[in-house]
Amino acid sequence: MLDIALPKGRLGERAHAILAAAGRGCPEILEPGRRLVFENAAAGVRFFWVKPSDVPIYVERGAADLGIAGKDILLEHSPDVYELLDLGIGRCSMCVAAPKGFRDSGERTLRVATKFPNIARRHYAGRGRPIDIIKLNGSIELAPLLGLSDVIVDLVETGSTLRENDLQVLERFLGISARLIANKASCKFKYRDIMALAGDAAGAAEGVCAK
């Protein structure tokens, strides 16, 4: 039996669709309700819904053998897990954005508002640009509009939220998508099961993404 942590929400539903197409789904999971744990003994899988940012914690600590997590969360928290597969869903970009007309003169410390302080710090450290990180938990777009920050570092999918708030993308610096991750110890003792599931999911992901 493989325990799989799915991120609550649309990404988790799409990831489950891939696993279902690979013959590793659990039909009950699609029924409305508040249950968090779903098992398909015949397929050898047990799913549980967790907050997206918690998926790597469940996997790293061995509560789940496998999980689906965005590359953004993996880069931000650097969990000690295996990253077995790019599922090709939830595609977006990590971007630097600012109010239209903004120009970084480089003369002052750049104030950066973000939910991803580690990613932002690494990005600017690579360029030797001094920054002041302002860690926020939501509505990041508001920060430069109110003068809290000069720029934001955030995920951008279609860019419509930025446009509606008169912000523009200055730079797309990371491609993001959902990844299948695995607990390292689980891989030692359930190697064949885990690699078989990853192989099945790879085939199914290609089919789903091609549609």
Partner 1 sequence: MGDILRREERTALRLRGLYAAMGYRPYKMGKFEEYDFYAANKRFLQSGGVLTFTDTTGRLMALKPDVTLSIARGAAAGEGTLKVYYDESVYRAPDPQAGFQEITQAGLECIGAVDAYAMGEVLYLAAESLRAISPVFALDVSDMGYVQSLLPELGLAGEGASAALRSLGARNVPELRALLDASGAPAGPADNLCRLAAAYAPLSELLPQLSSAAVNGGMRAACASLEGVAQALRGFGCLDDVRLDLSITADMEYYNGLVFKGYVQGAPGAVLSGGRYDALMRKLGRPAGAIGFAVYLNMLEHLDGGDDAEDVDVQLLCDGTEDPCELAARVRELRGAGRSVRVCRRAGGGEGAERDA
Report residue 124 as tokens. Answer: 């600017």
Q: Confirm or reject binding of residue 83 to partner 1 (CB under 8 A).
A: yes
Q: Are 11 and 89 in contact (CB under 8 A)?
A: yes
Return all residues near 167 (Cβ < 8 A) that are at least 6 apart. Answer: 97, 98, 99, 100, 141, 144, 145, 152
38-67 residues near partner 1, rule: CB under 8 A:
60-63
Using the rule CB under 8 A, give the single segment among 11-19, 75-83, 94-102, 135-143 that binds partner 1.
Answer: 75-83
Longest dimension (CA), the chain: 63
Q: Confirm or reject binding of residue 82 to partner 1 (CB under 8 A).
A: yes
Q: Is 148 left (phi over 0), alpha (psi -120 to 50) or beta?
A: alpha
Q: Which is nearer to partner 1, 102 or 191 (CB)?
A: 191
Using the rule CB under 8 A, give the single segment among 44-52, 74-82, 155-163, 164-172 that binds partner 1.
Answer: 74-82
Using the rule CB under 8 A, give the single segment among 2-10, 30-38, 150-158, 183-191 that binds partner 1.
Answer: 183-191
Report residue 137 as tokens. Answer: 């938990």
**Closest approach of partner 1 to the CB of residue 197, in Å:** 14
**Contact residues: partner 1, CB under 8 A:** 60-63, 80-86, 182-185, 187-189, 191
